[in-house]
Amino acid sequence: MSAEKSQGISKSQLTWLSLWTVYLIWGSTYFAIAYVIESMPPLLAMGIRFLIAGILLALIISLRQGPSELKIPRAELRSSLLMGFLLLGFGIGTVSIAQAYVPSGIVALIIAALPLWIAIFRTISGERLAKVSWLGLVIGFAGVALLLKPGSITPVSDIENSKLFLFMLLVLLGNIGWALGTFLAPRFPLPKNTLVFTAYEMLAGGISLTLAGFVKGESISDFLDATTWSWLWFIYLIIFGSIAAYTAYLWLVANAPVSLTATYAYVNPIIAVALGAIFLDELITSAYAIGGLIILVGVILVVSVERIKKEPAV
């Protein structure tokens, strides 16, 4: 059997299958969250989602590699929990609260600016960026500013532009927190097994979001009393959004070219915008379309430089 084939499927086919899994599932995450929070309290829903996903992932690891695989040094455990609190707790928590008012496509576009914030943190740390990266930053942040401009976006529910701006700013702050966690992660001791890291990260994010939900006044009875439609999308987020897509992404990181894997950064928001417009009747204004396009151009410029630096020589 050829080395390029595994159980009847070639590596090339598996690469594209994994890539489209990441494209479609992560691109539909914001769309799914919008349906979940229609009848579920947002923080509790996301918290319980990650708790269940973390437990399931830990069980999968235990069955495939043995329970001892989950035993990691305390320093690695602390780092994994910290990343979970910062990335999932703060990053997803802000998204879940804001999406009751901010269109899912707009949330996805603000989140798409993640590589721009990471580049800013790299600059603060003393790293010199290429001129193309600086150009991408200027362009990308101009797009973000256009989206945040009061009156540019039509809210999901009937609220004032000033309040909509605050909720969009909340998403932006969550994205900065996610970028900070991503930037700091290589500087902390983390488990070599990325699935183990993900399991602990999800558990930490789940605990922090659940506690935040209780503090905010959300109740389990409201969570359990959700509609069937919300429950279906909640299950989708657990199985596909939190486990299947992340597993596919980790496979791509280990087996596919960086240049190909990095394309998810600007394909996912396009899918999110399309789903929001088609199924959630989200109005795409001219500022929405132009601002989103400008952000994606900036992200492409920054990501293209980074992936060239990381691409192994052949």
Per residue in 92-116, pLDDT (tens digit) is 999 999 999 999 999 999 999 999 9
Q: How confident is the model at residue 2 (pLDDT cuts 50, 70, 90)?
A: very low
**Can you tell me the distance from the alpha carbon of 144 to that of 135, in angstroms, rounded to the nearest whole number?**
14
**Residue 175 lies inside a defined structural domain of this protein:** yes
**Can you tell me the distance from the alpha carbon of 77 to that of 79, in angstroms, rounded to the nearest whole number?**
5
**Residue 188 lies inside a defined structural domain of this protein:** yes
Please tell me the total count of domains within the chain: 1
229: domain range? 13-308
Residue 212 corresponds to which tokens in the numbers above?
A: 């935040």
Instruction: For tokens 């009747």, name the residue.
Output: 281
Residue 247 corresponds to which tokens in the numbers above?
A: 């597993």
β-strand partners of 5? 10
Percentage above 90 pLDDT, the chain: 76
**Residue 157 lies inside a defined structural domain of this protein:** yes
User: Beta 9-10 vs 5-6: how paired, if at all?
Assistant: antiparallel
Q: Does position 153 have pLDDT exceeding 50, yes or no?
A: yes
Provide the whole-model pTM.
0.90
**Residue 8 lies inside a defined structural domain of this protein:** no
Per residue in 245-294, pLDDT (tens digit) is 988 998 888 888 877 888 888 899 999 999 999 999 999 989 999 999 99
Nearest to 108 by CA among 301, 240, 299: 299
β-strand partners of 9? 6
Q: How far does Cα 197 stand from its chain's mean position?
A: 16
